[in-house]
A and B are shown apart, each in its own frame.
Chain A
Amino acid sequence: MSGDGSRHKVIAVNNLQEFFRDALNAAMSHQKLSVRDHTEHYLVNLLTLFSRSEALYETTPRGPRLKPLVVMLAEALDAPTPSERNRGLQRLGDVSLFIAGFFAGSFARKLIDIDYHIAMGGRAYGSLADSLVRGRERSLAGVFAELAQKFQRLVDALNEVSELSHTHTARDILRLYEIWMKTGSRRAQMLLRRLGVEPTAAAVTRFQH
């Protein structure tokens, strides 16, 4: 998975979490970026969660779609309770980070001077950290503060995760994995193996925070 020479080497993984943990660690190490254990755990869970499209997208009459980030922000601002506001900010931060990391090309991003996703996601995490710092969930405040502070560098690391394969992006792998999870497709399983991912039945994961 790390280069042309090893593209066809099969590395068995117990589940997608393990795959993402390894990929993220490698990318962060390469980027000389370190995060606390809780933050790393959060990121791995986030990647695993959003590998299921129903977790990332919302069902609409026109098919699965993402709400515009500005709508997520507006909904968070209008939330009737602090906990709903926090949930909205967290979702905004999560989606912004994932989209910037997996969908925005790193080359294009290097040319930009103002980053929309940082403005949206980084600030959402920052606001969330501020609001949690004195509450019952203050242990999470440190995670969100670190995500806010290192948002850009984490996006770079996620870009690297998504570029692990030159011929198939992590997004393709996720889509194949999802097809295999839902349908048990042998073709999807075969393609995953070719890409170095050994799908196993125990790959379903829970995500809570």
Chain B
Amino acid sequence: MVLRELQRLLGRIYDIRIEHDIYEFLVTDRRQLTHAAQRASRNTEEELLVSEVGGDVCLSLFLDRAVLERLQQADPLEELNVENLADYWTALEGVSHFQYLAWNAGHDRPVAIHELEIQAEVDKYATALFLLGEQRAGRFPLRLHHCLFERAHVDHALAPPKAALYASASRYAAKFCQGLERRFLKRGRVRCEALIRELRHFYRLTHGSKIRHIEAAPAG
């Protein structure tokens, strides 16, 4: 249930409609995966598995059952807090990957892993920003950027090329989200409508355009 609500939340923020229900693609038991997929997901609680068969894209989202069970007990849409934030971000990352890939596939657009990871980090930031803002007595979570991008680190167990890819995606997403804060969340001049429009614009950019968009933004 909670994944469907996260799917709806992302769909609403970005104004995208995905016909597929995420639960039809969900695997929560690692043993149900192929051996190759089991190896790929052995150290993670979330993994989007993609294969191409005869020109069709086949998707499965692996999400550890324990994560889902914990989120059912502590619904982040009711209250997002320090206890469920890590699980929320794990689940949201899976939903984000699924949505982004499905949306691009529906528009016959290729997706690079780097781009998928950038978008997932932006999605994690944006949804947490809105949920925390609403739930914390109207307070915008000004430490969110620090918590998501500066305190988090890439898993040291990852192979160097993969670690470098995640680190790069996180850096780009961090710069983009910092720009959002600077442009739309200024003290006393918060512009949620413009923020949503910018998020929607960014979502629709291709990988190369996303990178150029971020690099063109002023630093700091």
Residues in chain A within 8 A of chain B (CB atoms) = 61-62, 65, 68-71, 73-75, 77-78, 100, 103-105, 108-109, 112-120, 123, 127
Contacts and interface: CB of A to CB of B under 8 A. Distances in A.
Given A113-B187, A114-B188, A116-B133, A73 B193 contact: yes
B40 to A, nearest CB: 33
B1 interface: yes
Interface residues of B, number: 27
Interface string B174-198: 0000000000010110111100110
Interface in B8-34: 8-9, 12-13, 15
Given A62-B1, A119-B190, A70 B196 contact: yes
User: In terms of DSSP, what is the predominant structure of the interface of chain B?
Assistant: mixed
Contacts of A75: 12
B218 to A, nearest CB: 22
A74 B138 contact: no
A104 B137 contact: yes
Contacts of B196: 70, 73-74, 77
B193 A77 contact: yes
Contact of B193 (A109, A113, A127): A127
Contacts of B137: 103-105, 108-109, 112
B138 A104 contact: yes
Nearest to B132: A116
A61 B1 CA distance: 9
Contacts, number: 79
Contacts of A108: 137, 139
Contacts of B77: 65, 68
A71 B185 contact: no
Interface string B115-154: 0000000000000001101100111101000000000000
A127 B194 CA distance: 13
B9 A71 contact: yes
A69 B134 contact: yes
A179 to B, nearest CB: 22
Nearest to A112: B139
A70 B15 CA distance: 12
Given A68-B134, A70-B12, 5 more contacts: A68-B77, A69-B134, A70-B9, A73-B196, A115-B138
B13 A70 contact: yes
B131 A73 contact: no
Contacts of B131: 68
B51 to A, nearest CB: 33
Sorted nearest first, the 3 A-B pairs with minimum C-beta distance are: A119-B190, A116-B133, A70-B130
A116 B12 contact: no
Nearest to B75: A62
A70 B192 contact: yes
B138 A116 contact: yes
Nearest to B130: A70
17 contacts: A68-B9, A68-B77, A70-B12, A70-B134, A73-B192, A73-B193, A74-B12, A77-B193, A78-B15, A112-B137, A114-B188, A115-B138, A116-B138, A119-B140, A123-B191, A123-B193, A127-B193
Contacts of A115: 138-139, 190
Nearest to A104: B137
Contacts of B193: 73, 77, 123, 127
A113 B185 CA distance: 11
